[in-house]
């Protein structure tokens, strides 16, 4: 008998029929729940074993017609017995050559059989390939043909999908971190692979857009005035320089608006990106490389610039502000070089002006935080982490750029030029922090900088109004200010305040994503560095306290960590630490206290 899809042997017949099932179990069922396959006798279901026969010949003989189970058994196996009846029914249950019920069996047409057979063969091949793939994954030995399958795991690792059949088969939870971990474990990704630009969905290549030639425009010739583009060694996008002419300071900025119009493909791409993406392993520009090649200060013998002239009085206030489109001849210098020449002309005179300006900012509440900073670089696969020294030359350039930012903000306000202003609400009141723990605590009270269409206080900088205007090669907000200034200087129509606000909103959202990708990428490479140097040791400074833990800053890595300590630590206490455990995909590292 056929009971559901299983063979059954009738034991007794009464109000209900008692049947024996495979495994020796018995059951009482209704007659309508059974279908007769053979009248028997059958002593045991164990007799129902696979049969060899002429199955293909039977199907060819019956193709396209209907038959009975008995006829099929006799044609395929030369007899109709309980054993051959069950074997014949298995041919029907398989559903390839025959379909139907025990009482009405149909021999399927050749076209249908061949179609289904091809599909089944393909499925069997696919299953064999799948099992072979899983075997290679278990051995962490992916083959070239596995790249396609692992693409779905990569998509999950990059946050572009939510599930992966491969990841599930490998026994991992469906999360980007676990997908990242699995790709490392199976040998498809190195633990050095940086997934965070992709996970943050930021562009990972420079824009491939045509760049126009520099137009012929009227400019003030300042090529006889020495100009110095001071930056880190190896910088590839020099966009500002400084000069001094008597008591006037000039801040020159690459005239990006000369090549990037307020409307067009290049402007839209820059707005969608928001800023350059600075990764330890490379830089992805928001503008086509051709823009930097033409406009980077000092990259050509003579550079077009948008130059801001100003004076700084004894109280540190800015006066006599002018803005011009200029030609300059910039000399590129490193911070280290200039730091050794600050007592010489012309840098000593520049410092006198920037020192006054800094003193005014401090008097107005500017907060100076000397927290650890490092440069993380990856060259030829090797990670280096270098603490950034607090060079006076860096402070000189910073103050000069802030002077230009305030000067441009005031110039635009006075002339009714719509731009975006960088503002920051004042943090909670407090004294100027003097030690690392106080600086750490103070930073946590800072509110984020906001870009607004109306001038307002930037409390952290101690400036009543300020705009970002000195990095148009790498930041869209600065580029937009330049476009508005240049339009005003040439008498062209300006963007409306509403248009400025809309564009800045779009760009700042994109720039926020870029900053997140940078932050995660820097942490990734710091962890790779520590994995490369498992015996690394360094000093951590206690900057905060939590229950049974101390919050510490490791200056050599610019890394915050929590430490379990036996005794209550003192703030600003130095503790020697070493690496305990690193999890690169999870972006976590723990340290142990030494000594």
Please report, to the nearest 10 degrees, the dihedral formed by the alpha carbons of residues 270, 271, 274, 280 taken in order. Answer: -20
For every residue of 376-387, DSSP letters joined together read EEEETTEEEEEE
Angle in degrees, 0-180, between the axes of helices 147-157 and 176-185, rounded to the nearest 10: 140
pLDDT for 462 equals 95
**Taking 80 as the threshold, does the pLDDT of residue 548 lie above it?**
no
Determine the 3-state secondary structure of 274 from DSSP: coil
> What's the rounded Cα separation, in Å, for the pair 503 and 6?
70
Angle in degrees, 0-180, between the axes of helices 476-489 and 392-415, rounded to the nearest 10: 50
pLDDT for 367 equals 86
> What's the rounded Cα separation, in Å, for the pair 377 and 382?
8
pLDDT for 566 equals 82
Angle in degrees, 0-180, between the axes of helices 347-363 and 392-415, rounded to the nearest 10: 70
pLDDT for 236 equals 84
Q: Position of tokens 């025990």?
A: 102
Alpha helices in 245-346 (DSSP H): 265-273, 289-295, 335-339
> What's the rounded Cα separation, in Å, for the pair 478 and 461?
17
pLDDT for 233 equals 84
Average pLDDT score over residue span 449-466: 94
Q: pLDDT, tens digit, for every residue of 469-506?
A: 999 999 999 999 999 999 999 999 999 999 999 999 99
**Taking 90 as the threshold, does the pLDDT of residue 19 lie above it?**
yes
For every residue of 322-355, DSSP letters joined together read EEEEEEE-EEEEEHHHHHTTTTSTTHHHHHHHHH
Average pLDDT score over residue span 256-284: 96
> What's the rounded Cα separation, in Å, for the pair 148 and 94?
32
Indicate the pLDDT class of residue 77, thresholds 50, 70 and 90.
very high
Angle in degrees, 0-180, between the axes of helices 476-489 and 497-532, rounded to the nearest 10: 150
Average pLDDT, the chain: 94
172-186, 192-206, 420-434, 505-519: range with lowest mean pLDDT:
420-434
Average pLDDT score over residue span 133-145: 92
Q: The tokens of 170 are what?
A: 């490998």
Alpha helices in 30-109 (DSSP H): 55-62, 69-77, 82-94
Share of the chain above pLDDT 70, in %: 100
21-25, 58-62, 80-84: range with lowest mean pLDDT:
21-25
Q: Position of tokens 């994109």?
A: 510
């Amino acid at each position: 008998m056929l009971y559901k899809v299983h063979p059954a042997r009738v034991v007794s017949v009464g109000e209900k029929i008692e049947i024996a099932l495979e495994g020796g179990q018995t059951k009482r069922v209704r007659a309508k729940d059974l279908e007769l396959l053979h009248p028997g006798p059958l002593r045991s279901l164990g007799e129902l074993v696979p049969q060899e026969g002429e199955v293909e010949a039977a199907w060819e003989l019956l193709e396209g017609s209907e038959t009975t189970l008995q006829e099929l058994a006799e044609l395929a196996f030369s007899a109709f017995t309980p054993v051959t009846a069950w074997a014949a029914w298995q041919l029907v249950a398989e559903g390839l050559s025959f379909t139907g019920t025990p009482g009405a069996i149909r021999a399927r047409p050749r076209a249908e059989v061949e179609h289904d057979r091809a599909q089944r063969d393909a499925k069997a091949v696919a299953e064999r390939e799948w099992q072979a793939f899983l075997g290679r994954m278990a051995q962490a030995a992916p083959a070239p043909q596995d790249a396609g399958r692992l693409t779905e795991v990569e998509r999950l690792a990059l946050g572009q999908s939510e599930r992966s059949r491969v990841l599930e088969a490998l026994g991992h939870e469906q999360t980007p971190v676990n997908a990242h971990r699995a790709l490392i474990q199976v040998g498809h990704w190195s633990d050095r692979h940086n997934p965070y630009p992709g996970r943050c969905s930021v562009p990972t290549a420079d824009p491939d857009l045509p760049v126009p030639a520099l137009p012929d425009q009227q400019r003030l010739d300042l090529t006889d005035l020495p100009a110095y583009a001071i930056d880190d060694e190896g910088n590839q996008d020099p966009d500002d320089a400084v000069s001094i002419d008597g008591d006037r300071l000039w801040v020159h900025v690459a005239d990006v608006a000369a090549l990037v119009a307020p409307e067009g493909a290049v402007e839209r791409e820059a707005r969608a990106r928001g800023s350059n993406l600075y990764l330890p392993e490379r830089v992805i520009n928001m503008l086509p490389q051709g823009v930097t090649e033409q406009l980077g200060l000092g990259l050509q013998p003579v550079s077009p610039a948008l130059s801001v002239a100003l004076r700084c009085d004894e109280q540190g206030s800015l006066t006599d502000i002018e803005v011009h489109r200029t030609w300059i001849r910039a000399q590129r210098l490193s911070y280290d070089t200039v730091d050794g020449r600050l007592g010489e002309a012309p840098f000593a005179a520049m410092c006198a002006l920037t020192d006054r300006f800094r003193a005014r900012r401090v008097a107005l509440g500017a907060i100076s935080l000397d927290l650890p900073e490092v440069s993380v670089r990856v060259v030829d696969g090797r990670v280096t982490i270098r603490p950034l020294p607090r060079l006076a030359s860096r402070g000189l350039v910073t103050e000069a750029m802030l002077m230009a930012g305030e000067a441009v903000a005031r110039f635009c306000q006075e002339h009714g030029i719509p731009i975006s202003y960088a503002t920051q609400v004042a943090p909670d009141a407090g004294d100027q922090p003097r030690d690392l723990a106080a600086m750490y605590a103070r930073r946590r009270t800072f509110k984020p900088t906001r870009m607004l269409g109306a001038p307002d206080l930037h409390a952290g900088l101690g400036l009543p109004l300020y705009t970002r205007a000195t990095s148009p090669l790498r930041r869209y907000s600065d580029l937009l200010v330049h476009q508005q200034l240049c339009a005003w200087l040439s008498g062209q129509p300006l963007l409306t305040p509403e248009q400025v606000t809309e564009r800045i909103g779009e760009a700042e959202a994109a720039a926020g994503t870029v900053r997140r990708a940078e932050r995660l990428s820097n942490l990734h490479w710091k962890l790779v560095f520590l994995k490369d140097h498992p015996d690394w040791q360094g000093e951590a400074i206690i900057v905060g306290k939590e229950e049974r833990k101390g919050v510490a800053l490791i200056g050599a890595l610019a890394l915050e960590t929590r430490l379990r300590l036996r005794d209550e630590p003192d703030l600003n206490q130095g503790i020697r630490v070493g690496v305990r455990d690193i999890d690169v995909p999870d972006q976590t590292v723990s340290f142990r206290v030494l000594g």
